[in-house]
Every structure is written in C-alpha cells, then in structure tokens.
C-alpha cells in the first residue's frame, strides 16, 4: 500500500495507526492487508525503537476473537506445509520466539502438524540451556532454548522459525547461526505475520544463508515496509511528553474472585518452553471441552462467591442454568507473557461452547507502550503491575495489560476476565499489593476467574553410561550439582537461600583453635581445610549478641534498605543475589526481604563460597551462569575490613562476565562502591558463629573431599538448634524496615549522586601503617573494623585491640570480650576504624597471607 492509500485509510477513521501516522510522520508501504493486521503505538522506555507495530490478530496487546488468533497461525502453518511437501513437512520442527510469538509458533505447528519449541526468558532450575541468542532491538534481549529432549533441534529436517514481525531479520540470523553451528541443516523457513524488511535486510539474510550453504524461505501473511522520519525518536519523545497521564479510575467495590482448579492432565506441557509434540496436541484437544466446561461454571457460579472461592476440579460442568447466563457475558481470557497457547486454546473452546461473538483473548506483556484513548490509536488503555513470576531476565519488573481497562467514558470492556497463569506465577505478588494484577482486574470487571496450570517440569533423560576404559572418548562436561536447602541443610526457609555447597555434615573436620592453628603452622595447611570447633553459645555470649542486636537493629535495617534501593536503582529489578557464605548469607536474606517488603519483588538468592588464596567456587559460578545472566548477579557480604576479600573477588571474576562490585552493609575500609554506610559499626551477626548463620559452618575446600565437579563444602550443625538465633536476628532487623524506608530511599539517592563513592582503599593503607608500627610482617594478621575485631576475640588467638579514642559505647562488647580474654585495649588517635584487632603472631595460622598459608610473626 502506497503513502496516499495509507492516508486514505487513516481518513476513514478505521485504522488504529492513524494517530501516530499523522503526528509522527510514519507511513506503511506495501501490501494492502497491512492496516488490517497492524496498528501503531509509541513505545515508552525503549531507546532502540520509538514506534510499535501492534498486531490485531496476534492476541497480545489487542483482545481478539480466539478463532482469528489461532486461525492466523494455522493458515501460515498450512502454507509452510505446502511449501515443504508432505515428506519434508514430516521432518520439520517449529521454533517460536518469546515472548510475543509463543502462541503463534504453536499455531503454525498445529497447521504444519509438527513438534514445536519456543525460546524463553525464564531460566528453569535443573534444565540446562541448549543454547541462546540475542534479540537486538528488544527491551529484553536474551533468549534461552530449554528443550526437554536435547535431540529435538539436532535433526537435519527443515527448521521453521516463527515470529510475529520480521523487521530486520537480525534475530532470525542470530538464531540460525547459533543453531547451525551446533547442528547444520539444509533448509530454514522463516514465518511471520508481517514481513517489513528493507531490500538491504533481505540481501543480508539471503547472503548469510548462502554462506551457510542452506536454503532459506520466508512465508508471511503480508509484506511491506515502514517509512520513518530521521528524527522519529525526538518526535516520539515530544508526543509522549504531551500526552497527559490517565486519570485514576474511581474506586469501586472489587469484583468477586473465583479460583478454578482445572483438570489439567498430568504430564501435559502447558506450553512449548520444553517442547510440545503431536501427541501432546492430541491430549490437549481431547480435554479442551471439559476444561472449557469448568471455566463456564466458574464464570456463572451463582451470585458472587467470597473472595478466593474455588470451583473444584470435580464440580459439575453443565450448561444452561448451571452457568447462570455466563454465555451472555463479554469474557476476556487473559494469558500470561510466554503462556499464550494454552489460554488461547481454552478461549477457543469457551467460544465454541458459548457460541456468538463474546469471547476475546489477549495476554499480559513485558513491552512498555504509551496508552492514548483515541479510536485511531492501537493501545487505548493500560494496567501496570509488578511482575509476579520471580523473573530473572534482567528486564523491567513492570508488566502490562492493554485494552482491558475502561476508557475515559468509564464503560467496562468486559463483564468477566479469566486469568490463566502457571503455578510459578501464582505468587503473593499476583494477589497482594495495591497494584497487584488480580487486584486491578477486580476493579475493571464484574468477575475474575483465576485458573492456574501446572508449569511443566520435564524429566530429563539420564546421562549416557561411561564408555569402557579401553574405548577412546572425548571428555564430556560434568553435570552441575544441585543446591542445598533448609531445613535439611540450614535452619533458613528454603525460599530464602539456595546453598551452592556440598554437605559435609558427617565428616569430622573440627579441632580446638590452638591445636588447629599449630597444625596449620607446622604442616603448612590451608585454613579452609579444617574447621574450628563450634559450641552452643554460653548465656553470656547470648546476652552479648542480644545487646548488640538491640543497639544496632534499626541502624542495620537502614543499611540494608540503602543497599537494596541502590541495587534496584543501578542494577535493575532483575538482579540475582549471591551472598558470600557464610557471613554474607543473612545479609543477602535481609536484602531479599527488603525487596519483597518495599517493592513486592521476589529475587533469587544463593550462597557461594570464596576462599582467600584460592578464589571463588568455580563450580558455583558455572551453576549461576547456567541459570542466570552473569551480569544480573550481585555478590553480597556483611562488611569490609581492609578489603582482602574484595580483591580476591575481583581477581576471581576477571574475564567471567560477572560484575565484581561487592555490595556490603558497612564499608569502613572504603574499598567498595555499593554500601549502606562507611561508618564502622557492629553487625550483630559477627558476635556468633553458625547459630546466627542458619547453623552452617564456614566453608571447606580440601582435596579428597571436594572434587573438580563439586561445590565447596560446609557442615550443618543441627545439634546446635537449641541456641539458634538466625531467624530472631533477621526478624529483629526486618521489624524496622517500615520506619526507615523513606530514609533508605533518600540515602540511596544521595549515594547515587555522591562522587566520593569511588573506593580509595584508605583502610588498606591504614592496615599497612599499623603493621609497620607494631612490627607485624603480614598485614593479614591485622583485622580492622568492629566486626573483624569481634571475630578475633571470639574465634582467634588475639594479641591486642586498638580502639579509636572516644569510640564510646559502640565498643562496650569489644572491651568486655577483651577483658574476658585478658587482651589489652589501647586507645589510639587517627584510626579510620572504630577498632582494630591484632592476631597474636605466634598463632597466626588461621589468619593467612595472600597464598592462604600461615606465616610466623614476631611475638610481643
């Protein structure tokens, strides 16, 4: 369609791209069908593209009749089948792109009668990625391939790649190159609703296929182009700024919420994240009528059950009076991001049951788009809600529903909404909070039905047996171990932390402090090869801890909030916490709790081991890289001393893709840039050992116990449960979150604008000066800061304590411990820390040098 024809359609007022075309100077060219298939909108928050082509037949942003949505994919699939012929069609595999084209890919596979897989942005624990690729123009670029059957994409039959829109072909090219490198094949077919490539883009894709020695065909419903002015980004920004914010909807009594327990067949995938076969399609087709009957009953189950009322799986599913007039309602079946196909088929079955034209289908989305309530604009209204599926892709934590809320006239678009999610997404964030999706849906319709499908968890094939020793073979990468969780390992709740550790609870590793250090000194052993003896704390030590906690819980809560808000501001909501076991683990849990409390977020949290002189656990790093993007991982610890672990972490992560910027609550050593405070104050967990750290020991790295494919080890001291205060510590700090929330946000803002955040390593310089003044030839015998000093007094052989003159009550516990150990406390001037603990040079084996091995210093 030419420019003049585009203008003619716009003048008729029927095209939902008219508003943008007139104001931004955008025009469609090519096929006359393009305005039937797409409207136009303006993106918000994506500097790579100013405009969005909004499909009217995809069922993503615009509610559409399910038969139209499914039919568009079926027709494309039939065309591919005609192109390939029966023999080659029988060998084809379909790959759809997340998140937008997952349902379209399924539908094309239905028309082609082929197995399908879709890419995903959701890592699945226990399912190793077969590969991945980037979508360069998208707001969330990373795609993973997680087939349950790794052979699904290894054949040499045609591969059919399905996307809603073929704009430049770069995403397709990235995919083909990645997969062809692993499993070359001779034929690729690219399928799209609209093909908008330029001549240059077409040539690039054809040349790439020729370079690979493969045939490449493109099948599209319509083709053409989009003419954009050179200053489109600036024009779009001005238009977006000129649109007034939508008025908040009037408060109304929330609609009833009904939960329906669908009789979803056991083992039937809820989508193509791990693959979907012809047999799966047959099973779904067979049960769809009964599932639609259950939804029909939920839509008409009486005159409004109480919130959260459920319709049981075995309830009657009759018609007529049983559905109480539900067939007369305007119903939207709303899918969830990548979960598009199952809700689409449910909507189609519901429409077949009710007949007429009252069922529509669409899904939630990650794409931020401006809403303009104008008939010539594709996105009339939007709801914004926090993600509720524990997303780990690094993208925005905001999610969107378009064209569901009432417009300016206040008229409701739908009488009922059926929200279909998988169980991974059925979290408190879906239900709770002012902007939770369910709460907002209940404000814009008369009834909400929640249907939760079991997220398919594939049973992966067992690894092939090892070949006989006499047979030559290439070494295969070892399978990654699985994390440990409480309460079997640690006293923390399983959702609070996944321990990337090997359980050594049954291995005797302990020795008394002096004996252990003596053995280290004379045998040259590494400190991480053994453990100090851990005892249930005495009442005096317990009281010391509680005194410290009462005095610093609020201060610590503010530091936690400052760190969490800083991470959210600078690293984005898709962050993954990796605390340094074990001292960093309670801090990681507190940061995770803050994000849940203040933002409704549920972020992944792991505990990993790092050993001075030997680096971070490389197997744990491989695990994190297999399940998350390395750039999303944030390493967390409690405090810094002189910065030895900070340097160890930086060295260990060099060249890995992980960010070495350590986040801590207190940074008196001035060696990190993400911190809650640079003041030196006691973090109460330093007062105790395992009984404040989930009953977990220090980490262990010893040959014979830890193999090349193992995580570092640790012990779970279940026998010390009587003295466990781990949860009490977390609760005491978290109880102050509400009162310090505003202060934490302000502190994070100041930190973001503070030019003095750059580490200057003043603490390291001070330690070197102290080492020289006191004749200590190894700076690792100098433990700066109140936390490290406390540890010296509790767990080491202390020599003396240096206290900053006038430090006051902050050091009462240090003075008490020093008196109990008979250790002198010297008040000194010019100390950047509240105090510094000096380990006795004669017993320095547990406090090692850079190599991790002990040195003998001079005695007092």
Q: Specify the pLDDT at position 566.
A: 93
The top-scoring range by mean pLDDT among 173-177, 217-221, 689-693 is 217-221
Rounded to 10°, the helix 199-212/170-182 angle is: 0
Q: Given the structure tokens 């006191």, which residue do they identify?
A: 774
How do residues 160-174 score in pLDDT, each as one tens digit? 999 999 998 888 888
93 vs 231, higher pLDDT: 93
- Give yes or no for a contact between 81 and 113, defined as CB atoms under 8 angstroms apart: yes
How do residues 769-817 score in pLDDT, each as one tens digit? 888 888 887 777 888 888 888 878 877 788 899 998 887 777 877 888 8
30 vs 302, higher pLDDT: 30
Contacts of 245 (CB under 8 A, 6+ apart): none
Q: Specify the pLDDT at position 70.
A: 97
Q: Given the structure tokens 């197997």, which residue do they identify?
A: 619
pLDDT band, very low/low/confident/very high, at 1 (cuts 50, 70, 90):
very low
How do residues 24-63 score in pLDDT, each as one tens digit? 999 999 999 999 999 999 987 655 678 899 999 999 999 9
Q: How many whole angstroms separate alpha carbon 341 and alpha carbon 335?
A: 8
pLDDT band, very low/low/confident/very high, at 6 (cuts 50, 70, 90):
very low
Q: Do strands 27-30 and 215-227 pair parallel, antiparallel, or not at all (unpaired)? A: antiparallel
Q: How many whole angstroms separate alpha carbon 236 and alpha carbon 305?
A: 46
127 vs 803, higher pLDDT: 803
536 vs 432, higher pLDDT: 432
Q: Given the structure tokens 């047979």, which residue do they identify?
A: 471
pLDDT at 288 over 80: yes
Contacts of 480 (CB under 8 A, 6+ apart): 128, 619, 622, 623, 626, 709
Contacts of 421 (CB under 8 A, 6+ apart): 336, 339, 388, 389, 430, 450, 451, 452, 453
Give the bridge partners for 400, in sequence order: 365, 384
pLDDT at 140 over 60: no
- Give yes or no for a contact between 554 and 735, defined as CB atoms under 8 angstroms apart: no
Q: Specify the pLDDT at position 318.
A: 34
Compute the residue count for the chain. 860
Q: Specify the pLDDT at position 279.
A: 92
The mean per-residue pLDDT over the stretch 284-291 comes to 96
- Give yes or no for a contact between 257 and 442, defined as CB atoms under 8 angstroms apart: yes
Give the bridge partners for 299, in sequence order: none
Q: How many whole angstroms separate alpha carbon 50 and alpha carbon 48?
A: 7
The top-scoring range by mean pLDDT among 126-130, 175-179, 196-200 is 196-200
Q: Specify the pLDDT at position 133.
A: 53
Contacts of 97 (CB under 8 A, 6+ apart): 105, 118, 119, 135, 143, 161, 162, 163, 164, 171
Q: Specify the pLDDT at position 540.
A: 73
Q: How many whole angstroms separate alpha carbon 149 and alpha carbon 151?
A: 5
Mean pLDDT of the chain: 83
Q: Specify the pLDDT at position 132.
A: 56
Among 9-13, 14-18, 269-273, 822-826, the range scoring the smallest mean pLDDT is 9-13
Q: Specify the pLDDT at position 698.
A: 87
**Closest to 226 (Cα-Cα) out of 170, 172, 171, 168:** 168
Q: Specify the pLDDT at position 470.
A: 36
The mean per-residue pLDDT over the stretch 635-660 comes to 85
- Give yes or no for a contact between 257 and 438, defined as CB atoms under 8 angstroms apart: yes
243's tokens? 């649109």
126 vs 385, higher pLDDT: 385
pLDDT at 605 over 90: yes
pTM above 0.95, yes or no: no
Instruction: Identify each DSSP E strand in 459-596 by its residue range.
Output: 498-499, 502-503, 510-511, 531-532, 576-580
Q: Specify the pLDDT at position 515.
A: 53
Percent of the chain with pLDDT over 70: 85
Cα of 318 vs its chain's centroid, Å: 42
pLDDT at 310 over 80: no
How do residues 708-740 score in pLDDT, each as one tens digit? 889 999 999 999 898 899 999 999 999 999 999
pLDDT band, very low/low/confident/very high, at 338 (cuts 50, 70, 90):
very high
Among 186-200, 243-257, 272-286, 836-850, the range scoring the smallest mean pLDDT is 836-850
pLDDT at 838 over 80: yes
pLDDT at 464 over 90: no
Among 183-192, 240-249, 394-403, 706-715, the range scoring the smallest mean pLDDT is 394-403
Q: What is the CA radius of gyration of the chain?
A: 31
Q: Specify the pLDDT at position 836.
A: 93
Q: How many whole angstroms separate alpha carbon 202 and alpha carbon 218?
A: 10
How do residues 256-269 score in pLDDT, each as one tens digit? 999 998 999 988 99
Q: How many whole angstroms separate alpha carbon 581 and alpha carbon 173?
A: 42
Q: How many whole angstroms separate alpha carbon 606 and alpha carbon 280?
A: 35
């Amino acid at each position: 369609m030419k420019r003049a024809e585009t203008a003619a359609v716009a003048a008729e007022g029927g095209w939902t791209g008219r508003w943008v075309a007139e104001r931004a100077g955008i025009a469609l060219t090519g096929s006359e069908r393009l305005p039937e298939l797409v409207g136009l909108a303006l993106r918000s928050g994506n500097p790579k593209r100013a405009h969005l082509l909004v499909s009217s037949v995809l069922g993503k942003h615009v509610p559409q009749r399910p038969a139209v949505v499914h039919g568009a994919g079926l027709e494309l699939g039939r065309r591919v089948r005609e192109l390939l012929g029966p023999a080659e069609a029988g060998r084809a595999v379909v790959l759809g792109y997340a998140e937008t084209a997952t349902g379209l890919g399924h539908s094309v596979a239905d028309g082609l009668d082929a197995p399908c897989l879709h890419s995903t942005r959701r890592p699945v624990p226990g399912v190793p990625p077969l590969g991945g690729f980037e979508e360069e123009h998208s707001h969330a670029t990373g795609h993973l391939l997680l087939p349950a059957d790794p052979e699904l994409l290894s054949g040499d039959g045609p591969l059919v790649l399905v996307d809603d829109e073929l704009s430049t072909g770069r995403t397709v090219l990235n995919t083909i190159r990645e997969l062809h490198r692993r499993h070359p094949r001779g034929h690729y077919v690219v399928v799209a609703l609209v093909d908008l490539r330029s001549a240059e883009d077409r040539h690039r894709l054809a040349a790439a296929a020729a370079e690979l020695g493969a045939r490449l065909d493109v099948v599209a419903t319509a083709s053409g182009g989009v003419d954009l002015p050179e200053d489109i980004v600036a024009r779009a920004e001005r238009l977006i700024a000129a649109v007034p914010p939508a008025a908040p909807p009037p408060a109304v009594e929330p609609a009833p919420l009904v939960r329906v327990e669908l009789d979803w067949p056991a083992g039937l995938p809820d989508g193509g994240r791990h693959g979907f076969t012809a047999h799966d399609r047959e099973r779904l087709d067979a049960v769809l009528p009964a599932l639609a009957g259950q939804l029909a009953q939920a839509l008409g189950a009486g005159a409004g059950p109480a919130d959260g009322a459920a319709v049981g799986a075995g309830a009657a599913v009759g018609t007529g009076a049983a559905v109480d007039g539900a067939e007369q309602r305007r119903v939207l079946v709303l899918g969830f991001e990548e979960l598009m196909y199952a809700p689409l088929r449910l909507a189609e079955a519901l429409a077949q049951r009710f007949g007429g034209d009252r069922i529509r289908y669409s899904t939630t989305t990650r794409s931020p788009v401006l809403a303009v309530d104008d008939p010539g604009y594709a996105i009339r209204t939007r709801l914004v809600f926090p993600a509720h599926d524990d997303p780990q892709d690094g993208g925005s934590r905001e999610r969107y529903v378009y064209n569901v809320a009432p417009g300016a006239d206040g008229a409701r678009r739908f009488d009922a909404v059926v929200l279909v999610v998988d169980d991974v997404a059925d979290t408190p964030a879906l239900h709770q909070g002012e902007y939770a999706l369910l709460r907002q849906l209940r404000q814009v319709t008369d009834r909400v039905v929640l249907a939760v499908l079991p997220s398919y968890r594939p049973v992966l094939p067992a690894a092939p047996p090892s070949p006989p020793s006499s047979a030559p073979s290439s070494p295969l990468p070892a399978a990654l171990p699985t994390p440990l969780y409480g309460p079997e390992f640690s006293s923390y709740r399983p959702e609070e932390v996944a321990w990337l550790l090997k359980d050594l609870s049954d291995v005797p590793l302990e020795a008394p402090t002096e004996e252990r250090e003596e053995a280290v000194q004379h045998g040259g052993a590494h400190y991480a090869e053994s453990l100090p003896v851990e005892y249930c704390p005495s009442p005096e030590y317990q009281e010391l801890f509680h005194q410290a906690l009462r005095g610093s819980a609020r201060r610590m809560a503010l530091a936690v909030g400052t760190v969490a808000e800083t991470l959210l501001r600078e690293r984005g909501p898709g962050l993954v916490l990796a605390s340094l076991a074990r001292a960093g683990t309670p801090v990681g849990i507190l940061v995770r709790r803050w994000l849940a409390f203040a933002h409704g977020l549920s972020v992944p949290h792991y505990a990993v081991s790092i050993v001075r002189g030997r680096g971070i656990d490389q197997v744990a790093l491989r695990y994190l890289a297999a399940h998350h993007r390395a750039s999303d991982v944030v390493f967390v610890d409690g405090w810094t001393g002189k910065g030895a672990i900070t340097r160890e972490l930086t060295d260990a992560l060099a060249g890995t893709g992980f960010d070495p910027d350590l986040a801590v609550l207190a940074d008196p050593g001035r060696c990190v840039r993400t911190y809650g405070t640079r003041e030196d104050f006691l973090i109460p967990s330093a007062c105790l050992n395992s009984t404040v750290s989930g009953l977990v020991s220090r980490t262990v790295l010893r040959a014979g116990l830890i193999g090349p494919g193992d995580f570092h080890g640790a012990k779970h001291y279940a026998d010390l449960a009587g003295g466990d205060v781990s949860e009490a510590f977390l609760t005491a700090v978290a109880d102050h979150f509400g009162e310090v929330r505003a202060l934490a946000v302000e502190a994070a803002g100041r930190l973001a604008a503070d030019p003095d955040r750059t580490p200057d390593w003043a603490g390291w310089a001070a330690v070197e000066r102290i080492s020289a003044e006191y004749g200590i030839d190894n700076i690792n015998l100098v433990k700066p800061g109140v936390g490290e000093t406390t540890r010296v007094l509790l767990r080491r052989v202390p020599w003396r304590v240096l206290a900053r003159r006038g430090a006051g009550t902050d050091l009462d516990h240090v003075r008490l411990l020093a008196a109990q150990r008979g250790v002198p406390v010297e008040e000194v001037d010019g100390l950047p820390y509240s105090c510094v603990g000096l380990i006795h040079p004669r017993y320095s084996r547990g406090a090692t040098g850079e190599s991790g091995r002990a040195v003998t210093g001079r005695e007092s």
